[in-house]
Structure 1
Amino acid sequence: MSSATSEPVNAVVPTMLPPFDPRKVPVVGGGTADGLPAVALEQLTAQALRARFAAPPAWAPELRREPRMTGREPAQAAVLVPIVQRPQGPTVLLTERTANLSTHSGQVAFPGGRVDPEDANIAAAALREAWEEVGLSASYIEVLGSLPTYTTVTSFIVTPVVSLVEPGFELTINPYEVAQAFEVPLGWLMDPANHRRHAVPAGDGTQRHWYSMPYQDGAEERFVWGATAGMLRNLYRFLSA
């Protein structure tokens, strides 16, 4: 999100969902046990991605809605899914939220936030947020299309806007919201062997299920989970259909 009054699109409301360390929540499925194939690398090229979004296959998203944990009225939000066209292979640009935020602190997220009345459309909102959060200029971005909405525990109805990003850009991080930006190989994210499914009790007596995708980035683990992992899982379903 990009202003002091805005909230992260996959924030958790502590009063209704007890605090927990997502790294310690048991794994209940996913990974190699699912037997799902990885998306072939030739399907992840810029040309192949353009063709897939130009003529989408019949498919269904796996994840659409998290348990509602707030009385807040639903609000439209947009995130940018930036696929960077690196010579060694495409990557996804992600951010780590700052530790001083009251919610969603330290978590991995896409650039994104609430849709403003001034935004021309959902894609414009995602581009604006990417500029405000990490200084990613729209001049490097080619919007491919959108995935179905994903509704978070805090009633944000999030539209993922998938895009290609030409290399050569320079980022300017907004230190209020973003601690750092980093990239994860798209091929790694599109391999369900790296997708772990978790379950944790929700405030209404049911269970909240979510995915994690822990990526070892040198000595540091990038723990992708929750709404961000859910939208990536839906991207996998779209590209593998």
Structure 2
Amino acid sequence: MVILRKTYNGVHSAQVGFPGGKLEIQDQTLQDAALRETFEEIGVPERDVEIICELTQVYIPPSNFHVSPFIGITKHTPVFIKQEDEVESIIEVPLRHLLNDAVLISKRVATSYNVEIEVPAFQLNNHIVWGATAMMLSEIKDLLKQVF
């Protein structure tokens, strides 16, 4: 599951990503922040999510953030409730789709140096996922392939 962010005046406008955000005063750990943001953005209660591992930290230059992603599971398929002011839509992606190498593509993106580069990406449910989210999905895909 990934989200399509709303269109706004910012670096991640209308991009596909995971729920997330920065630490807030009530968060004791990065994991707390991840669970809180998941609830706020897609409505999955923190108590329903079991964190099973932390992924590799990713630096995102345009926003100057280090992202610490976590993988969590639920015992039952959650009822997703999108946060109207931040989330345009919730995109559910079957694992078999993610694991299919046919969804791997490349995309040309403009850099801050006014140069276009070719980057690896995923084509998921008619959305192109690139950048840090694609890096995280690639790590998830590699972990899942070790299990399946």
Instruction: State if a TM-score over 0.5 links the two structures.
Output: yes
Q: Distance in 2 between matches of 1:197 and 1:115?
A: 32
Change (3 A) 1:156 1:208: farther
Alpha-carbon RMSD:
2.2
Aligned-pair CA distance for 1:200: 4.1
Which of 108, 117, 130 in structure 2 is aligned with 1:225? 130
Higher relative contact order (CA 8 A, sep 6+): 1
Q: Distance in 2 between matches of 1:236 and 1:126?
A: 20
Tell whether the 8 Å contact from 1:210 to 1:230 is kept in structure 2 after alignment. Answer: no
Q: Distance in 2 between matches of 1:198 and 1:182?
A: 20
Q: Work out whether 1:172 is the aligned partner of 2:77.
A: no
| Deviation digits for residues 117-138 of structure 1 (CA, Å, limit 9, x no counterpart) | 4312111110000111121112
Tell whether the 8 Å contact from 2:82 to 2:89 is kept in structure 1 after alignment. Answer: yes
Q: Distance in 2 between matches of 1:111 and 1:201?
A: 24
Aligned-pair CA distance for 1:201: 5.3
Q: Work out whether 1:184 is the aligned partner of 2:101.
A: no
Alignment correspondent of 1:38: none
Which of 127, 130, 133 in structure 1 is aligned with 2:35? 127
TM (norm. structure 1) is 0.53
The unaligned stretches of length 5 or more in structure 1 are 1-92
Aligned residues: 144
TM (norm. structure 2) is 0.82
Q: Work out whether 1:141 is the aligned partner of 2:49.
A: yes
The unaligned stretches of length 5 or more in structure 2 are none
Task: Name the larger-Rg structure.
Answer: 1
Q: Which amino acid aligns with 1:228?
A: T
Alignment correspondent of 2:59: 151
